[in-house]
Structure 1
Amino acid sequence: MLYKYEEDYVEQEADYSIELLKQLATIPAPSYHEEKRAQFCKQWFKERGIETTIDKMNNVVIKMFDDNQDIAVFCGHLDVVFADMEPLKITQKGNYLYGPGVGDDTANVVHLMQVIHYIHLHHLHGKTGVLFVLNTCEEGLGNSNGCRYIVEQYKNRIKSFISFDGYLNQCTNSAVGSKRYRLTVHCQGGHSYADFGKENAIETLSKIMYELSHQQIPTEAKTTYNFGKIEGGTTINAIASTATLLYEYRSSMQNCLDIMEKQFQEIVSHYSNVEIEILGVRPGNGLLNREKFEKFTDHNMRLIKEYYLDDVEKCANGTDSNIPLSYGICANTIGTLMGEKAHTYDEWIDLDSYKIGFKVMMNIILEYFRD
């Protein structure tokens, strides 16, 4: 549990925290274009005397370790799923805050910023080395490349990893792996009347989608596929010469991923005019010390439940924790708010849960700074 003066900090900062959230959430941040948010956060830390760096992936990094120390990593991702480059619209109605990306993951990032500020204010020193990261490229085709860059730098020194993302009622303790493709069908095309009968790229792509949607889905673990985006053709009276599909499949079990890959390759092999490009591979779980990992997860669950009194579910998700888990590093993804409609423009969070989540994050991180 937090000490009273630690809870007092949460109470004192609660209103400001919501205003900071509103401010940060308006800043557009598509994956690979998080520069404005990164600079905003760097300036915010600078004004409070906290030394930060921005690395080549635009991750905002705060290092609290010596060269020979093992490291605990805490991160939250700056990017949102939307491609908007203009300011995002954030509105408050009563105790609810609405806007794209407001919960995923901006609210968690704001909590992390304020916990870092608290540690700096009180000159706390970690029991181990600590690395804080406001990372980029978690969403979509970002492929967790911001987190991947961090983990690949320090993988031999990272002993624990916590990503703050999602909701209070979930603790991610298993990686949902995925593979993502761009399929492009090429054909000659032509005039819709004069050349009727020639192959149409859109029609061919539709046949591929039909076959993919009728494949046998493995049942050993939850396994999914998705047609995320289709494009093709030029106009209504022309036979389409190209058509493109973004396709992914996911599973929490590697064997299921292997089955999906085999079926995918069999289906597309029937078409000679399909260009296949791999867009991203998110790894699944690596070889973990199960006893150590279960102890790590159960301890984090207890810390969450000290302030969040409803049920908390251990679950599998595709998050930044995929990367450390693939290296066998103990990693959880934990949320610090409640809300709904993530990945939509109508996303909302419950501000009544926001202070609870603030305390949860304080409770988890300060464990690494107490004797």
Structure 2
Amino acid sequence: MRFEGAEMRMIHSKMRMCAAGALAALVLAASAVKAETPAASLAVDTAAEAVLANANVRKTLDDIKAADEATFADQKTIAAVPSSPYKEKVRAEYYLKRMQELGFKDATIDAEGNVIALRKGTGGGRPRLVVAAHLDTVFPEGTDFTVKEKDGMVLAPGIGDDSRGLAVLLTLIKAMNSNGLATVGDIMFVGNVGEEELGNLRGVKALFRDHHDIDGFISIDGLGVSRIVNQGTGSHRYEMTFKGPGGHSFQEFGLPSAIHAMGRAIAKIADLKTPAEPRTTFTVGTVSGGTSVNAIASQAKMAVDMRSNSTEELLKLEARLLDLVKQAVADENARWGSDKISVDIKLIGDRPAGVTAAESPIVQATQRAVTAVSGVQAKLVGSSTDSNQAMSLGIPAITIGGGGEGGNWHSVNEWYRNVNAYQGPQNALLAILMLSGLDGVSKPALPVRQAGN
């Protein structure tokens, strides 16, 4: 997952003009958002004003800014620890050690590979808010994860996605502990596996399978602070293998071809129409097959990606596309009077769609936090992140950036600049305190979910 950085440089000039550390600016920022959001809940308004006016919170924000270089150092250290899909163990063990050093003696690695550390509140366990960042990268085993510096940038696979998020969690914990910030609700800090590509969100799926007392979920994934992901783009991915008898292209001409059948399928898929809203897309991403130029192909394979912001539209597209693939097989067999072509269809990716309403306390609290630390109004956007799973279960969830700017996502030349990066953990801190409640200062704005919901 990533946040686009093109608009960040325009916004940063405005950010530098904002005195986010001053009490007057913070309170005025909160009031401005309140005025612009008539539907804001009283609980969020009350929590925001109390948290932003608290002297200890302001000191913690200043400490986070002062620790900017330390956070950046953690980020580079984490990025250098290898973590490939389904091979996150080394990084998970390192991250567990860091959590234990911060006082979480009961921190564990669960059966799926997630690192879990529970910071208990004063309210008996609820509400319980998860704050997560993902341990995995898209890069295969054997990738060189060495961190390099060039032209004022740091380059490394996954340096921003999501080494930044993992470093932000550590900074949050250190800042909260050193300033004695006690929350009312519990906070579960999680370094989860399986966010990228064919990981299929296996880490957060296991988390929600094993923990039924989660009331809210924040994923720190991406950079900057100007965007809040409150809509989860769902996706289904398939691997389709076409099989046939094969043969010599001249002497056995007339036999059906696996590649021709796949070609017919691709042509049919290319003519599909999907709605612009809710945004629904498809692509045949990879193809392979055949043995030589003068052979009728006995096998061909393609991978198909389908996405939508609506579960209903995703399922509609899926049904139509799978039917077209079967029609293509029938057409190739009919062309040659054969029944030798078949197709094996395998689901290899499944991310549910979902949405957290703009009126939800988790969205509104984070909007206030963004304005308080940066002076800008956050945009609500859609993307495919760990929050998808929570949203699909009806659990309030968002994804926010960890600060800084970067690019070349999912490339070994991914780059990062530590520009206004401290705003990432500052933003997360304020959102956490508003939602979880600050003991003796404010009540939690995050509602406790009812049993069965």
TM-score, structure 1 as length reference? 0.90
Q: Is the 8 A contact 1:50 1:120 kept in 2?
A: no
Cα distance between partner residues in 2 of 1:144 and 1:291: 24
Superposed, 1:86-101 pairs within 5 Å as 86-101=143-158
Cα distance between partner residues in 2 of 1:21 and 1:169: 20
1:274 to 334, 343, 351: 343
1:59 aligns with 2:124: no
1:285 aligns with 2:354: yes
Q: Is the 8 A contact 1:27 1:87 kept in 2?
A: no
Label 1:201 to 1:332 Cα distance change in 2 as closer, same or farther (>3 A): same
In structure 1, the residue matched to 2:451 is none
1:318 aligns with 2:384: yes
Superposed, 1:138-149 pairs within 5 Å as 138-149=195-206
1:303 to 355, 364, 369: 369
Once the two structures are overlaid, the 10-residue window that deviates more, 346-355 or 34-43, is 346-355
Label 1:29 to 1:237 Cα distance change in 2 as closer, same or farther (>3 A): farther
2:189 to 132, 136, 139: 132
**Identity of aligned pairs, percent?**
28
AA in 2 matched with 1:99: A
In structure 1, the residue matched to 2:444 is none
Q: Is the 8 A contact 1:25 1:106 kept in 2?
A: yes
- Structure 1 stretches lacking a partner, 5+ long: none
1:187 to 244, 252, 259: 244
In structure 2, the residue matched to 1:353 is 420
Once the two structures are overlaid, the 10-residue window that deviates more, 323-332 or 2-11, is 2-11
Label 1:117 to 1:240 Cα distance change in 2 as closer, same or farther (>3 A): farther
2:398 to 319, 332, 347: 332
Q: In the TM superposition, what is the alpha-carbon distance from 1:68 to its structure 2 partner?
A: 5.5
Once the two structures are overlaid, the 10-residue window that deviates more, 9-18 or 320-329, is 9-18
Once the two structures are overlaid, the 10-residue window that deviates more, 45-54 or 115-124, is 115-124
Cα distance between partner residues in 2 of 1:291 and 1:228: 33
Label 1:291 to 1:232 Cα distance change in 2 as closer, same or farther (>3 A): closer
1:24 aligns with 2:78: yes
Q: Is the 8 A contact 2:230 2:358 kept in 1?
A: no
Once the two structures are overlaid, the 10-residue window that deviates more, 110-119 or 315-324, is 110-119
Q: In the TM superposition, what is the alpha-carbon distance from 1:23 to its structure 2 partner?
A: 1.8
CA-based RMSD of the aligned residues comes to 2.4
Q: In the TM superposition, what is the alpha-carbon distance from 1:292 to its structure 2 partner?
A: 5.6
Q: Is the 8 A contact 1:190 1:241 kept in 2?
A: yes
2:278 to 199, 209, 221: 221
- Structure 2 stretches lacking a partner, 5+ long: 1-51, 331-341, 442-453
The alignment partner of 2:235 has SS state of strand
Q: Deviations over 1:190-247 (max 9, x none)?
A: 2344434433323322221222122112233111112233232344444332222121
Rg larger in structure: 2
Q: Deviations over 1:298-350 (max 9, x none)?
A: 22111012122345210111111111111111111111223223223332223
Cα distance between partner residues in 2 of 1:263 and 1:76: 35
Label 1:117 to 1:369 Cα distance change in 2 as closer, same or farther (>3 A): farther
Superposed, 1:79-90 pairs within 5 Å as 79-90=136-147
AA in 2 matched with 1:118: A
Q: In the TM superposition, what is the alpha-carbon distance from 1:136 to its structure 2 partner?
A: 0.6
Label 1:196 to 1:82 Cα distance change in 2 as closer, same or farther (>3 A): farther
Q: Is the 8 A contact 1:186 1:241 kept in 2?
A: yes
Label 1:13 to 1:369 Cα distance change in 2 as closer, same or farther (>3 A): farther
- Bigger strand share: 1
Cα distance between partner residues in 2 of 1:68 and 1:23: 33
The alignment partner of 1:162 has SS state of strand
AA in 2 matched with 1:241: S
The alignment partner of 2:354 has SS state of coil
TM-score, structure 2 as length reference? 0.75
Q: Is the 8 A contact 1:308 1:356 kept in 2?
A: yes
In structure 1, the residue matched to 2:219 is 163
Q: How many residues were matched structurally? A: 367
Cα distance between partner residues in 2 of 1:19 and 1:291: 35
Q: Is the 8 A contact 2:222 2:402 kept in 1?
A: yes
Q: In the TM superposition, what is the alpha-carbon distance from 1:45 to its structure 2 partner?
A: 2.4
Label 1:213 to 1:308 Cα distance change in 2 as closer, same or farther (>3 A): farther
Superposed, 1:234-249 pairs within 5 Å as 234-249=291-306
Label 1:30 to 1:274 Cα distance change in 2 as closer, same or farther (>3 A): same
AA in 2 matched with 1:177: G
